[in-house]
Amino acid sequence: MARGFALGILILAVALISVLVFSPSGQHMKGVVPTSLPSSPLLHDYGPVPAGVPVLYGAAPSNPQWLTAFDWQGHPRGTVKLAAPLMHELVPEPHCFVLEDQQTFDEVLYVDVPGQPPNKRVGVITNEGSLGQVGVEAVECNFQRNFAIAVRAGLGLSTDSWAVRLSDAALLGHWSYDSTLNVVPSSDGSLIAENGANGGVTRIRSMPDGAVVKSLPPVDAVDGFSDDNRFAVIGPVVSVAQIRVIDWRTGNEVWHNGGSGWAMRVAVNPGTGDVAIAIGTDDQYRNLGQDYTYPLVIVRADGSATEIPGKYAWVFPPYADGYYPYKGGPP
């Protein structure tokens, strides 16, 4: 499993990086402590990545085929050298996914588990009635707790979410929305945030029972949860604004960035409450250019923060951003 996990990271990294156009590095963000790495990323070989150390991979603009591994203190710990870009990616194992049957228009849940036949059909989640501008995606599959979370999205909004059993696709819960921008799961699937659109409130539900455990103001959108579910990364909804990390149960702020931006990606450090946030500009969020490199700030549970100087194309582990967390073997 460890070998497949590492290979998945590498192939995913190449698939992401091979299509990117990089831009020069930016300045440090206010309110964070930079590491000792120079502000302009240099082409440096840090040697093999040490085993057992949680790392985040970043490709510098100067050489997108060299991935620098940073630890959660923000220090470079190793270099992975890619011989050539690959044009495909390896998804995590085990994992689940949803495909629409082109004949019946059923949205069908599948699982891939090592040692079992590939693409095992579990069952139907819903029927679309016809082909249209909507689709259902499995945003979470937790094999230890035997359930998956699927979300239907179309025309810029999320309209439905489901909790289903991974073993037989039995329905555990279904929620419909009329003003929800998107649905963001926690890294273990025990929470989802339904981010309100058009001035609507953001709701946090426990899963799979669906109980609403918290409502947040309309200006707050959840971009991710810490691995222990204590903290939420709060970003802007409509226009670029300040990014914060809060204790979502109490509303107490743990950290905020000194400027404004969009939380483009969020990674978690398991068992610590620490989060890493890749912060983009308004143009990057709206895809007005071809720059997919971002500064990264690591925020710890005590509110201290470290910025990794420069801008990188970040490659987070497959289970670190709220999608497909590996929480044990198959049911």
In the chain, where the domains are located: 59-84+219-324, 89-183
Q: Quote the pLDDT of residue 2.
A: 33
Asked if residues 98 and 109 have their Cβ atoms less than 8 Å apart, the reply is yes
> Are 234 and 220 contacting, i.e. CB atoms less than 8 angstroms apart?
yes
Q: Which of 24, 80, 92, 72 has its CA nearest to residue 275?
A: 72
Strand order in the sheet with 221-225: 221-225, 231-235, 244-247, 253-256
pLDDT, tens digit, for every residue of 4-46? 333 333 333 333 333 222 222 333 343 444 444 434 445 789 9
Reported in sequence order, the residue ranges of 146-284 that DSSP labels E, i.e. its strands, are: 147-154, 157-164, 171-185, 191-196, 202-206, 212-216, 221-225, 231-235, 244-247, 253-256, 262-269, 274-280
Write down the pLDDT at residue 282: 83
pLDDT at 39: 41
Question: What's the predicted TM-score (pTM) here?
Answer: 0.81
> In 3D, which of 318, 323, 324 has the Cα closest to residue 5?
318
Q: Is the dihedral of CA 256, 261, 266, 269 positive or negative?
A: negative
Question: Hey, what's the torsion of the CAs at 248, 254, 259, 263, to 10 degrees?
Answer: -50
| Mean pLDDT per 10-residue section of the chain, whose length is 331 residues | 34 34 32 42 82 89 87 94 55 79 93 86 91 82 90 89 95 94 90 88 95 91 93 87 95 92 89 92 79 92 95 72 39 34
Residue 161 confidence (pLDDT): 96
Q: What is the pLDDT of residues 83-108, one digit of tens each?
A: 754 333 445 667 888 999 989 999 99
Q: How far apart are CA 1 and CA 64, in angstroms?
A: 27
How much is the pLDDT for 163? 96
